[in-house]
C-alpha cells in the first residue's frame, strides 16, 4: 500500500487567487491522478500527472486553470488558478502501481472553500 500526504488539508481562499496543493507519496508510483469531489457529487478525474511532461487533462479541465506538475515519481502538485466559488470542492490525489495491478490509493483530500 501507499502512504499519501496531501497539503494543505483544507483552506479558505479569496476569489481571484490561486492555491497549490501538494501530494507526496512514500514510494515510487507509476501513475498519479488528481480528482475533484464537488459538494454532493462524485469524484471526477481532473487529469493524469505525467512525470517530466505535461499532464493529460480530461474533458472540461484545462491546463491554464489547473496546472499540474510532477517532477519525480513520488511528488505532484495541483494548482487551482484564479479561483471562484464554483471551485469550492475537495481535491484528491490518487496513485496507482500499474505493475502490480492493485487498487488505487487516495490521499485524505484538500477541502477548498472559495469566498
Partner 1 sequence: AQSVSQHNHHVILSEAASLELGCNYSYGGTVNLFWYVQYPGQHLQLLLKYFSGDPLVKGIKGFEAEFIKSKFSFNLRKPSVQWSDTAEYFCAVQSQVFLVFGKGTRLSVIA
Residues lying near partner 1 in the complex (CB under 8 A) are found at: 31, 33, 41-45, 48, 92, 94, 96, 98, 101, 103-104, 106-109
Cα(87)–Cα(28) distance, rounded to whole angstroms?
A: 30
Least distance CB 70 / partner 1 (angstroms): 15
Which of helix, strand or coil describes residue 85? helix
> Which residues are CB-contacts of 114 (< 8 A; sequence separation ≥ 6)?
12, 13, 14, 15, 83, 84, 85, 86, 87, 88
Least distance CB 72 / partner 1 (angstroms): 19
Least distance CB 56 / partner 1 (angstroms): 10
CB-nearer residue toward partner 1: 1 or 14: 1
Amino acid at each position: 500500500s501507499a502512504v499519501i500526504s496531501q497539503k494543505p488539508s483544507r483552506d479558505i481562499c479569496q476569489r481571484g487567487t490561486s492555491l497549490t496543493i501538494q501530494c507526496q507519496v512514500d514510494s515510487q508510483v507509476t501513475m498519479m491522478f488528481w480528482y475533484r469531489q464537488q459538494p454532493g457529487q462524485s469524484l471526477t478525474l481532473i487529469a493524469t500527472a505525467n512525470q517530466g511532461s505535461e499532464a493529460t487533462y480530461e474533458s472540461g479541465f484545462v491546463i491554464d486553470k489547473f496546472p499540474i506538475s510532477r517532477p519525480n515519481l513520488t511528488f505532484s502538485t495541483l494548482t487551482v488558478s484564479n479561483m471562484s466559488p464554483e471551485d469550492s470542492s475537495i481535491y484528491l490525489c490518487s496513485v496507482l502501481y500499474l505493475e502490480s495491478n492493485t487498487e488505487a490509493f487516495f490521499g485524505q483530500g484538500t477541502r477548498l472553500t472559495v469566498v
